[in-house]
């Protein structure tokens, strides 16, 4: 086994390094800076060069960078990182020993995203794929369509003098929305971003991603009338905080793949759920698995066993490495 599932995370014994370990280790290769992948306390982190700005916000220690596609040797193991299309700097990890190739996908998506490099198919013998949304019910509408829905929802609210508060993850989703809205010539009103988003927006800008101005609403003096036509981006946790009170009569929407499930929308008491994810949906998982040409597939995160059961029925050699030890996916931690 080139890569093993251990109590600290995915481990490559030949190279003596971990991939996205969830406990401190001497040497970590990091697929991207989300909290369930980049954890505090390792001595050194290797990441793809475009991911250094967000990663430096999340961890301390030595950060080593390599460009996408650049090959290095770690204790004789050939290692390279390839775009995963998930968030800025996200990478798949390709590991090669004596001609045998394994690829660890990290989180990925196949949809275009103006804030990160598009997913690259990497041929391999064994593909370790994420399966956060590994059930046939998870199918995403095109991102462009969802941005149009957000734009229309915001326009209707603005016309009625109602602030629009849009909940989305701090890293990746919020910047993707800002970048996509930035392509409109005219917007229904001003855009603000919760304080928790400011550092990450800045990190993206430093990395050269064009994001429109989105000041912290707290910086606005007493005149809260300006919010009546505004779109305010905020992390999901803001929904239950007193912060929300300054936007009188606001409509609250949320952007997430989980919004595909009506019960979740209802339980969260949202005015609107927008189905947009930075993860592969069911058809994209199947397409990607087939395109890698892998003889063996290992699923991690989420509904791994549902995905691998389906693959085994299709004659693919597949297993799931999902168990209680695996930290929960984006819903809890991103």
Are the CB atoms for 284 and 277 separated by under 8 Å?
A: no
Q: Which helix (H) or strand (E) holds 162?
A: none
3-state secondary structure of 181: helix
- Please state, in angstroms and rounded to a whole number, the distance separating the CA atoms of residues 39 and 26: 12
Q: What token pair was written down for 303?
A: 């509904």
Which of these segments, 29-37, 208-216, 239-247, 261-269, binds Zn ion (CB under 5 A)?
29-37
By C-beta, is 36 or 113 nearer to Zn ion?
36
CB of 128 to Zn ion, least distance (A): 13
CB of 18 to Zn ion, least distance (A): 15
- Please state, in angstroms and rounded to a whole number, the distance separating the CA atoms of residues 24 and 41: 5
By C-beta, is 158 or 259 nearer to Zn ion?
259
CB of 148 to Zn ion, least distance (A): 25
Interface with Zn ion includes 265 (CB under 5 A)?
no
R_g over Cα of the chain: 20
CB of 104 to Zn ion, least distance (A): 12
Q: Among residue numbers 33 through 52, which ones bind Zn ion (CB under 5 A)? A: 34, 36
By C-beta, is 260 or 279 nearer to Zn ion?
279
Total residues binding Zn ion (CB under 5 A): 3
Helices (H) and strands (E) in the chain, counts: 8, 18
Which of these segments, 26-34, 60-68, 184-192, 316-324, binds Zn ion (CB under 5 A)?
26-34
Strands 77-83 and 91-97, bridge-based pairing: antiparallel
3-state secondary structure of 170: coil
Site string for Zn ion, 94-113 (x = CB under 5 A): -------------x------
CB of 20 to Zn ion, least distance (A): 8
Tell me how crowded residue 14 is: count the other CB atoms within 10 A of its CB. Answer: 16
By C-beta, is 87 or 230 nearer to Zn ion?
87
Q: What angle do CA 57, 112, 209 make, to 5 degrees?
A: 40
Which of these segments, 28-36, 113-121, 160-168, 217-225, binds Zn ion (CB under 5 A)?
28-36
CB of 27 to Zn ion, least distance (A): 20
- Please state, in angstroms and rounded to a whole number, the distance separating the CA atoms of residues 288 and 319: 16
By C-beta, is 33 or 77 nearer to Zn ion?
33
Binding residues (CB under 5 A) for Zn ion: these are: 34, 36, 107
């Amino acid at each position: 086994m080139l890569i093993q599932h251990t109590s600290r995370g995915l481990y490559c014994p030949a190279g003596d390094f971990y991939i996205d370990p969830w406990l401190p280790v001497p040497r970590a290769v990091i697929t991207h800076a989300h909290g369930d992948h980049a954890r505090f306390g390792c001595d050194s982190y290797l990441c793809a060069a475009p991911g250094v700005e967000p990663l430096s916000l999340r961890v301390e220690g030595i950060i080593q960078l390599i460009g996408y596609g650049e090959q290095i040797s770690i204790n004789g193991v050939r290692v390279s990182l390839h775009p995963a299309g998930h968030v800025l700097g996200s990478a798949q990890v390709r590991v090669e020993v004596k001609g045998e190739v394994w690829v660890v996908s990290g989180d990925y998506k196949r949809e275009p995203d103006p804030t990160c490099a598009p997913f690259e198919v990497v041929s391999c013998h064994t593909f370790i794929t994420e399966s956060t949304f590994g059930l046939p019910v998870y199918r995403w509408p095109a991102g462009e369509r969802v941005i149009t829905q957000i734009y229309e929802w915001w326009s209707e609210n603005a016309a009625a003098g109602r602030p629009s508060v849009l909940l989305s993850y701090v890293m990746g989703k919020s910047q993707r929305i800002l970048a996509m809205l930035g392509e409109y010539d005219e917007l229904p009103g001003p855009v603000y971003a919760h304080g928790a988003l400011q550092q990450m927006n800045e990190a993206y800008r430093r990395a050269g991603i064009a994001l429109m101005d989105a000041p912290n609403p707290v910086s606005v003096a007493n005149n809260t009338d300006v919010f009546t036509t505004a779109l305010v981006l905020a992390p999901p946790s803001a929904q239950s905080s007193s912060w929300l009170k300054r936007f009188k009569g606001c409509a609250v929407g949320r952007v997430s793949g989980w919004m595909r499930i009506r019960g979740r929308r209802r339980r969260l008491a949202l005015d609107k759920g927008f189905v947009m994810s930075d993860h592969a949906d069911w058809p994209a998982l199947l397409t990607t698995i087939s395109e890698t040409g892998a003889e063996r597939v290992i699923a991690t995160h989420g509904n791994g066993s549902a995905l691998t059961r389906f693959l085994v029925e299709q004659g693919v050699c597949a297993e799931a490495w999902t168990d209680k030890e695996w930290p929960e996916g984006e819903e809890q931690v991103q």
